[in-house]
A and B are shown apart, each in its own frame.
Chain A
Amino acid sequence: MKPKYIAGLAVGIGLVIVAVLFAVNKQQVYVLFATANESGGQVQVRGDWVKEKGAEYDADNNLFRFTLRDEAGGEMEVHYHDAKPNNFELAEEIVVGGKVENGVFMASSVLTKCPSKYEAESIDVNS
Chain B
Amino acid sequence: MAGHIGSFLLALGFSAGILSGVNYLRAIRKPSETSLNIARSGFYVMVFAVMFACAILMYLILNHRFEYHYVWAHSSMSLARPFLVAAFYSGQEGSFILWTLLTTLIGVFVLGYAQRYRYEAEAMSVYMFVIVLLLLILVVDSPFDTVFAAFPDQMLPADFVPKDGRGLNPQLENLWITIHPPILFTGFAAMTVPFVFAIAGLIRRDYQRWITVALPWTLFASMVLGFGIMLGGWWAYETLGWGGYWAWDPVENSSLIPWLICVALVHTMIVQKRTGVVQRGVTKKIGGLVRTNFVLAVCAFSGILYSTFLTRSGVLDDTSVHSFVTPGNFVYAVLLIILLTFFLAGLSALIFRWKDLSSQTLELKLMSRENWLGIGSAILLASAFVILVGTSWPILMPLIGKPKAKIDMSFYNNTHIWIGLAIVIINALSISLKWKNTSATELKKSLMLTVPIALVATLLVAVFGGVTDPIFTLLMFGALFALTINTIEAVRYLRANWRMAGAYVAHAGVAFLVVGVIFTSRYSVTEHVQLSEGDTKEVFGYQTSFVGRDTIEREKLDREKFEFKIKLEKDGSEQIVRPVIFWSDFNQRQQAFLEPGIVYNVTGDIYISPKSLEGIGGDPTVVLTKGEKTPVPQDSAIEVRFEKFDMSRAASEQLQGAVLEITRPDTSYYYTAYRQVDGRYGMNRLPGSDISVGFAELQADPEDLARSKARIRFASERVPSPPEKQAITLDVSVKPFISFVWGGVIIMVVGFFFSMLRRRKELEAVENLGTEAKPVVADQPESKERDSVS
The residues of A with any CB-CB pair to B shorter than 8 Å are 15-16, 19-20, 22-23, 25-31, 42, 44, 46, 51-52, 57, 59-60, 62, 82-84, 86-90, 93, 95, 97, 111, 113-115, 117-120, 122-123, 125, 127
Q: Report whether B612 and A57 are in contact in the complex, using a CB–CB cutoff of 8 Å.
A: yes
Q: Report whether A89 and B325 are in contact in the complex, using a CB–CB cutoff of 8 Å.
A: no
Cα distance A22–B590 in the bound complex, in angstroms: 41
- The one of A23, A51, A118 that contacts B91, using a Cβ cutoff of 8 Å: A118
Contact A15 to B729, CB < 8 A, known contacts A27-B408, A29-B404, A62-B528: no
Min distance, Cβ B82 to any Cβ of chain A, angstroms: 20
Q: Report whether A46 and B406 are in contact in the complex, using a CB–CB cutoff of 8 Å.
A: no
The residues of B with any CB-CB pair to A shorter than 8 Å are 72-73, 91-92, 147, 150-151, 154, 156, 160, 162-164, 166, 169, 171, 317-321, 323-325, 327, 382, 385-386, 389-390, 393, 397, 403-408, 410-411, 414-415, 528, 530, 587, 590-591, 593-594, 611-612, 614, 701, 707, 727, 729, 731
Min distance, Cβ B295 to any Cβ of chain A, angstroms: 13
Cα distance A38–B441 in the bound complex, in angstroms: 63
B385 cross-chain contacts in A, Cβ below 8 A = 15-16, 19
Min distance, Cβ B418 to any Cβ of chain A, angstroms: 10
Question: Which A residue sits closest to B166, measured CB to CB?
Answer: A120
Q: Report whether B528 and A28 are in contact in the complex, using a CB–CB cutoff of 8 Å.
A: no
Q: Report whether B323 and A113 are in contact in the complex, using a CB–CB cutoff of 8 Å.
A: yes
Q: Nearest 10 pairs between A and B by C-beta?
A: A83-B611, A26-B411, A115-B325, A59-B729, A27-B405, A29-B405, A26-B408, A119-B325, A62-B528, A30-B404
Q: Report whether B612 and A22 are in contact in the complex, using a CB–CB cutoff of 8 Å.
A: no
| Other 13 A-B pairs with CB < 8 A, given A57-B611, A82-B611, A113-B318 | A19-B389, A20-B389, A27-B408, A42-B408, A57-B612, A62-B528, A83-B611, A86-B593, A111-B320, A115-B325, A118-B323, A123-B154, A123-B162
Cα distance A125–B92 in the bound complex, in angstroms: 23
Q: Report whether A23 and B390 are in contact in the complex, using a CB–CB cutoff of 8 Å.
A: yes
Q: 14 interchain pairs (CB within 8 A)?
A: A22-B411, A23-B407, A29-B405, A30-B405, A51-B701, A83-B612, A84-B612, A113-B323, A114-B323, A117-B169, A118-B92, A119-B92, A119-B325, A127-B162
Q: Please report whether the interface of chain B is mostly helix, strand, loop or mixed according to DSSP.
A: mixed
Question: Which B residue sits closest to A15, measured CB to CB?
Answer: B382
Cα distance A15–B388 in the bound complex, in angstroms: 13
Q: Report whether B389 and A23 are in contact in the complex, using a CB–CB cutoff of 8 Å.
A: yes
Q: Report whether B156 and A123 are in contact in the complex, using a CB–CB cutoff of 8 Å.
A: yes
A82 cross-chain contacts in B, Cβ below 8 A = 611
Q: Report whether B406 and A28 are in contact in the complex, using a CB–CB cutoff of 8 Å.
A: yes
B707 cross-chain contacts in A, Cβ below 8 A = 52
Question: Which A residue sits closest to B528, measured CB to CB?
Answer: A62
Cα distance A52–B593 in the bound complex, in angstroms: 23
Identify the interface centre among A20, A31, A86: most chain B CB within 10 Å of its CB.
Answer: A86
B156 cross-chain contacts in A, Cβ below 8 A = 123, 125
Q: Report whether A89 and B151 are in contact in the complex, using a CB–CB cutoff of 8 Å.
A: no
Question: Which A residue sits closest to B322, measured CB to CB?
Answer: A118
Identify the interface centre among A15, A28, A118: most chain B CB within 10 Å of its CB.
Answer: A118
Q: Report whether B590 and A28 are in contact in the complex, using a CB–CB cutoff of 8 Å.
A: no
Q: Report whether A123 and B147 are in contact in the complex, using a CB–CB cutoff of 8 Å.
A: yes
A90 cross-chain contacts in B, Cβ below 8 A = 587, 590-591
Q: Report whether B611 and A59 are in contact in the complex, using a CB–CB cutoff of 8 Å.
A: yes
Min distance, Cβ A27 to any Cβ of chain B, angstroms: 4
Cα distance A97–B587 in the bound complex, in angstroms: 25
A114 cross-chain contacts in B, Cβ below 8 A = 323
B154 cross-chain contacts in A, Cβ below 8 A = 122-123, 125
Min distance, Cβ A122 to any Cβ of chain B, angstroms: 6
B323 cross-chain contacts in A, Cβ below 8 A = 113-115, 117-118
Min distance, Cβ B269 to any Cβ of chain A, angstroms: 19
Question: Which A residue sits closest to B403, measured CB to CB?
Answer: A29
Cα distance A95–B320 in the bound complex, in angstroms: 10
Q: Report whether B729 and A83 are in contact in the complex, using a CB–CB cutoff of 8 Å.
A: yes
Contact A127 to B164, CB < 8 A, known contacts A26-B411, A62-B528: yes
Question: Which B residue sits closest to A29, measured CB to CB?
Answer: B405
Contact A31 to B403, CB < 8 A, known contacts A86-B171, A122-B154: yes
Q: Report whether B406 and A44 are in contact in the complex, using a CB–CB cutoff of 8 Å.
A: yes
Cα distance A59–B73 in the bound complex, in angstroms: 36
B91 cross-chain contacts in A, Cβ below 8 A = 118-119
Cα distance A26–B407 in the bound complex, in angstroms: 6
Q: Report whether B415 and A22 are in contact in the complex, using a CB–CB cutoff of 8 Å.
A: yes
Q: Report whether A111 and B72 are in contact in the complex, using a CB–CB cutoff of 8 Å.
A: no
A62 cross-chain contacts in B, Cβ below 8 A = 528, 611, 729, 731
Cα distance A119–B312 in the bound complex, in angstroms: 12
Q: Report whether A59 and B162 are in contact in the complex, using a CB–CB cutoff of 8 Å.
A: no
Contact A122 to B151, CB < 8 A, known contacts A27-B407, A97-B406, A127-B162: yes
B321 cross-chain contacts in A, Cβ below 8 A = 111
Cα distance A115–B328 in the bound complex, in angstroms: 13
Cα distance A13–B392 in the bound complex, in angstroms: 18
- The one of A19, A44, A118 that contacts B415, using a Cβ cutoff of 8 Å: A19
B590 cross-chain contacts in A, Cβ below 8 A = 89-90
B147 cross-chain contacts in A, Cβ below 8 A = 123
A113 cross-chain contacts in B, Cβ below 8 A = 317-318, 323
B591 cross-chain contacts in A, Cβ below 8 A = 84, 86-90
B320 cross-chain contacts in A, Cβ below 8 A = 111
Cα distance A29–B147 in the bound complex, in angstroms: 39
A115 cross-chain contacts in B, Cβ below 8 A = 323, 325
A59 cross-chain contacts in B, Cβ below 8 A = 530, 611-612, 614, 727, 729
Cα distance A24–B755 in the bound complex, in angstroms: 40
Cα distance A119–B163 in the bound complex, in angstroms: 18
Question: Which B residue sits closest to A27, measured CB to CB?
Answer: B405
Min distance, Cβ A74 to any Cβ of chain B, angstroms: 16
Question: Which B residue sits closest to A25, measured CB to CB?
Answer: B411
Min distance, Cβ B158 to any Cβ of chain A, angstroms: 14
